[in-house]
Amino acid sequence: MLDELRCEACSTDAQALSAEDRRLLFTELTGWDMLDREGIPQLEKVYKFKNFKLAWAFSNKVAELAEDEFHHPSILLEWGQVTITWWSHSIKGLHRNDFICASKCDALN
């Protein structure tokens, strides 16, 4: 499973995943959307919570995960929900790391 893997270093010369590889890895995720923003493919999911405090606690867990993996998402914290968006900034696309971290977010919830 993806959540059992570790991220690898991703530099500017790393290859973004092909559309086929993205589709294959995407089948291993539940409830995520694959979006295209300004030509950059991204993974995004909205997690729902009963209140702000629970949403805040989850966003902090995701921040700790990001530090542990040296891979950082966009985190939008709102009352009762957290939106997580993963993509690899250095390659302006999706890398295997993004799918690993998306899966790890699900394991946190």
Q: What does the H/E/C string look like for the chain?
A: CHHHCCCCCCCCCCCCCCHHHHHHHHCCCCCCEEEEECCEEEEEEEEECCCHHHHHHHHHHHHHHHHHHCCCCEEEEECCEEEEEECEHHHCECCHHHHHHHHHHHHHC
**pLDDT per residue over 51-108, tens digit each?**
999 999 999 999 999 999 999 999 999 999 999 999 999 999 999 999 999 999 999 9
Report CA 106 to chain centroid distance, whole Å. 9
**pLDDT per residue over 36-58, tens digit each?**
999 999 999 999 999 999 999 99
The pTM is what? 0.94
Q: What pLDDT is recorded for position 59?
A: 99
Per the model's pLDDT, the better-predicted residue between 5 and 81 turns out to be: 81
The number of beta carbons lying within 10 Å of the beta carbon of residue 61 is 16
Yes or no: is domain 17-108 CATH 3.30.1360.20? yes
Domain boundaries, the chain: 17-108
